[in-house]
A and B are shown apart, each in its own frame.
Chain A
């Protein structure tokens, strides 16, 4: 979840009027830059004209893609909501041995990109495809988005209320729904809407499993370069749906209560019953992580695979992956700084607008950002078309929210009183900021940069559209080999991706961090 406002004391937040002008201007400029893909997409689509828009949207093909996208998103949301809530309940309300290890285990799917899960499954069962396969894997991958916030909410929800309802004549199930569920519902809703958003945005998993959704359609229309208008219109349609979901998610997040009383005491149950519950908890990590990684490992260790590894290609891909990730991280952190500083210290409509614009990447599917920047580069800066600059810019737009979120949280935990004290000791505002606030907020800057780097390494659709000719990353290599069923040749890239992106994600954040920062 994004950094909570609650961490800031009321006195620490001032009206925007007291903010220095240069800070507002810089932050607004960054926000405007971040909005380029969305705005340009709208411009590009409007150039196609209303007639084309209506005609395109009316096509049976488009309707089918939309129905597929929405159908999958709804099905995955429903199943993740059910499974995630049940898992969270088991992990918080029953006495489970090693509860923290189980929570980490259930969060693991967040560390693995969805297309890696589908790759691993295809290795095991190459004939897998269609709606059911996409639904199963997407549910496994997305369930932690519900499990983690609901588990946190269940732990924070005062159990006293459930007990009160019991003493007033309510049975255990009714007491849970009447007393505890209202406390948990906002967290569950926020998690479910995130699941919906990620399913709508997903490109790699659905494409590998040949289930044709809007993201697949955008890529296909773009590839068939005679019909780029259609690609733009499909992208606009997808963004419109995504924005509705994000608006719902924001609204539900506002209602998350922060009550905290006595902690829930996990109930002791018999070992046999517990054994009955554990498959439920293990389902998502086994389907989303264990089986795919098992398939990957089996394939990687085959003699044939090892013999055929093209080391030069592999290292080239690792090198360019790390290179663009580092660039994206540095640029994102620098650009996020003014917005984070503004959002951490000042309130007001303008501050909220600037921050929301900076966070717009959260709502934009990678394929949409990729497509829009292709159009933008071709029309406005043709010399930069297919350059690393545009690729990095795409990453920055997509992952700016991650660095803004962590850095804002970091800055708002530094009491402004400390800077005031520094002022009374003879420092200028700049010196005070640099020697006190910046020093104390530094760890969050590092974490923000790492998060952007990890997300960049895992990014697939925008990379496919924006990468310069000849530049390959681990994600694109894995992708291009998997779609032509060369699972063995894809294995080394998949393994490198796990080592470079998934492992650091877990190591960096721990359990709770993984949940907070990924959401």
Chain B
């Protein structure tokens, strides 16, 4: 059980800078998800923590011990950092038991070793699979073996590189749940890398959002989702509705009316143009949602996308902009209905322009 401390991390490959100053503090026994689009450098970050890539500048320490700095890299085999790669990457010429016991000291048949292997097989629910070849396993089983193999030598830190990406949706959900419970009981420090927002939010204690080689926001899942640090982070972490408006005394005047909002990361002056960002589930259709008084209607329904557990209603506002509201799928409006909309909680205001 050790914390991980990464500061000022730069990594260049050839002439391109893949990581451009990553700072990240990870508490012992916590579960951190690094969330970012593909190509943002998150796998590079993971490989450098494992010691598989040298760093150009900055440091990586685990449990207070410095493992990587410019010019010095403690080799992977001496770091006590476990790694579960994207594909299970089981050794195809070894049985399941030998794969799990691969990193354990002692000879193949040593009693201490077989006991630990049996314990791990029970832990990941593969009791009795010891003699199977990796090619005889399903995708989910292979991932369990890879997890057991990584956990076997009791690493200080466990790295998970999109471990569920290759599985089908249903299996992904159940295995994710199982792994999260299992790892919680192990009290190992875990770093998960993923581009799947839901995966990061449901599994992790803390989420670090990564973009173009740096961490742009880090916090608890609800902080990252409810108060993202930028417009880009807001739309990457979840669905976002954006409306341009003017700032007036803590509210944004826009096509939706005057909406209470928090300015994130800047201090707008009266009358400044800002962008109001809302989550679709923050928008509610008001109780009197079928607006018989046509003149005062806020919006007109232009599309309904029904997903079973909820529904997304697209509404055109008076100025032509379209916003989406996520609602429980009861008594759905019909296309063309005129509605009144309200916002459940204060929205978020970001500086307008300047890209995302």
Contacts and interface: CB of A to CB of B under 8 A. Distances in A.
Interface of A: 95, 158, 160-161, 163-172, 175, 178-179, 182-183, 257, 259, 261-262, 265, 268
Interface in B120-168: 146, 149-150, 152-153, 155, 159
Given A166-B75, A182-B92, A259-B92, 12 more contacts: A160-B89, A163-B52, A164-B149, A167-B82, A167-B83, A167-B159, A168-B77, A168-B82, A171-B77, A178-B91, A257-B92, A261-B89
A168 B87 contact: no
Contacts of B103: 167-170
Contact of A167 (B14, B91, B92, B155): B155
**Nearest 3 CB-CB pairs, A to B?**
A168-B103, A166-B76, A160-B85
Contacts of B254: none
Contacts of B14: 95, 268
A261 B83 contact: no
Contacts of B81: 167
Contacts of B89: 158, 160-161, 164, 261
Interface string B239-280: 000000000000000000000000000000000000000000
B289 interface: no
Given A163-B83, A163-B85, A179-B91, A168 B50 contact: no
B86 A262 contact: yes
A166 B86 contact: no
B91 A161 contact: yes
A165 B155 CA distance: 13
Interface residues of B, number: 31
B75 A168 contact: no
A95 B78 CA distance: 25
Contacts of B76: 163, 166-167
A168 B152 CA distance: 9
B228 interface: no
Contacts of A171: 75, 77
Contacts of A179: 91
23 contacts: A158-B89, A160-B87, A163-B50, A164-B149, A166-B50, A166-B52, A166-B76, A167-B50, A167-B52, A167-B76, A167-B77, A167-B79, A168-B102, A169-B103, A169-B153, A170-B103, A175-B77, A178-B91, A179-B91, A182-B92, A261-B89, A262-B87, A268-B14
Nearest to B99: A164
A388 B90 CA distance: 58
A167 B149 CA distance: 11
Contact of A164 (B79, B85, B105): B85
B122 to A, nearest CB: 20
Nearest to B102: A168
A519 to B, nearest CB: 24
B77 A166 contact: yes
Contacts of B87: 158, 160, 261-262
Contacts of B322: none
Contacts of A261: 86-87, 89
B51 interface: yes
B215 to A, nearest CB: 23
A175 B14 CA distance: 25
B22 to A, nearest CB: 19
B191 to A, nearest CB: 13
A178 B91 CA distance: 9
Contacts of A166: 50-52, 75-77
Contacts of A257: 92
Nearest to A172: B75
Interface string B65-87: 00000000001111101110111
A259 B83 CA distance: 20
A163 B47 contact: yes
Given A158-B89, A171-B77, A172-B75, A165 B83 contact: no
A171 B76 CA distance: 8
Contact of B83 (A164, A170, A262, A265): A164
A428 to B, nearest CB: 44
Contacts of B155: 167
A165 B92 contact: no
Contacts of A167: 50-52, 76-77, 79, 81-83, 103, 150, 155, 159
B93 interface: yes
Contacts of A265: 13
Nearest to B81: A167
A123 to B, nearest CB: 43
Contacts of A158: 87, 89
A304 to B, nearest CB: 52
A510 to B, nearest CB: 25
Nearest to A95: B14
A160 B91 CA distance: 10
Nearest to B103: A168
Contacts of B150: 164, 167-168
Contacts of B85: 160, 163-164
Contacts of A95: 14
Interface string B1-32: 00000000000011000000000000000000
Contacts of B50: 163, 166-167
A158 B85 CA distance: 11
Contacts of B79: 167
Contacts of A259: 92
A36 to B, nearest CB: 42
A154 to B, nearest CB: 16
A99 to B, nearest CB: 13
B280 to A, nearest CB: 36
A170 B153 CA distance: 12
Contacts of A168: 77, 82, 102-103, 149-150, 152-153
A170 B79 CA distance: 11
A265 B83 CA distance: 17
Contacts of A169: 77-78, 103, 105, 153
A318 to B, nearest CB: 48
B86 A160 contact: yes
Contact of A165 (B78, B82, B93, B102): B102
A163 B78 CA distance: 13
A303 B85 CA distance: 66
A306 B340 CA distance: 98
Contacts of B91: 161, 178-179, 182
A171 B83 CA distance: 15
A170 B77 contact: yes
B107 to A, nearest CB: 15
Interface in B224-242: none
A160 B79 CA distance: 17
A292 B338 CA distance: 87
Most buried by B among A168, A183, A257: A168
Most buried by A among B47, B50, B91, B159: B91
Nearest to B83: A167
Interface string B86-118: 110101110000000011010000000000000
Contact of A182 (B52, B83, B93, B149): B93
A161 B236 CA distance: 32
B145 to A, nearest CB: 11
A172 B103 CA distance: 14
Nearest to B47: A163
A169 B149 CA distance: 12
Contacts of B149: 164, 168
A170 B87 CA distance: 20
Contacts of B102: 165, 168
A168 B51 CA distance: 12
Nearest to A181: B93
Nearest to A165: B102
B18 to A, nearest CB: 11
Contacts of A160: 85-87, 89
A183 B75 CA distance: 23
A179 B150 CA distance: 15
